[in-house]
Amino acid sequence: MAKEDIATREVSYAGRACALKAYVAEPAAAESSPAAIVVQEWWGLNEHIRDVSRRLAREGYFAIAPDLYSRQGHRVATDPNEAARLMGGLKKEDGIADLQTTVEWLRAQKQTRAARIGITGFCMGGSYAILLPCENREIAAAAPFYGEIPADEKLKQLGCPIFYAYGENDGWIQRADVERLAAALKKFDKPGEVKVYAGCSHGFFNDTRADVYRPVEAKDAWERTLKLFAANLKG
């Protein structure tokens, strides 16, 4: 799908605590499309996350990236210390509530009313991308990238197939937790794949960060994400 075949816009909708802002990218001519939620890194709703949304739109998805820092004034960070403060100021239950509101908003749109919904996210967003489908049965596929692994009690409630991407040299997410996730999928008979990318660090998918970006591995992870979404959201 060419660039001119998608449409993008900023939207706002009522959240539990404040108005939520979000970025939408969608196929320009489609009457209806499967939906995909893109959850930000700790930096906020920046251009990289918007670009991921546009990539999904070109694959035929109605993609929405909600601003999970809406409660904090819609801020976007470029400094790691500021990003850490913003992430620390977001309570997990508030982030989940705003994602639940986003699902409700998607269900109210004519293009996505009957659509299956997928979710992907990175870093902080990866944590939400694996947690939300443990709490919301409307999520039909999840592709979390190097996010925090929920407790097994939560993973037992996982309601959809997942693809989890992890860098071997990740200094934030512990390898033992990733192995626990792989074991939990088997123990609880949950469909999914956990992929460990050799030599990669946390954030390896982010092509705006030359210090960690790994193009070959990022391409593979993206292709696996699209395969998961196509199998569970399309048709």
Catalytic positions, please? 123, 170, 202
Residue reference for tokens 């999520």: 139
Q: List Cβ neighbours of 235 (8 Å cut-off, separation of 6 or more).
A: none
| Whether 120 contacts 163, CB under 8 Å | no
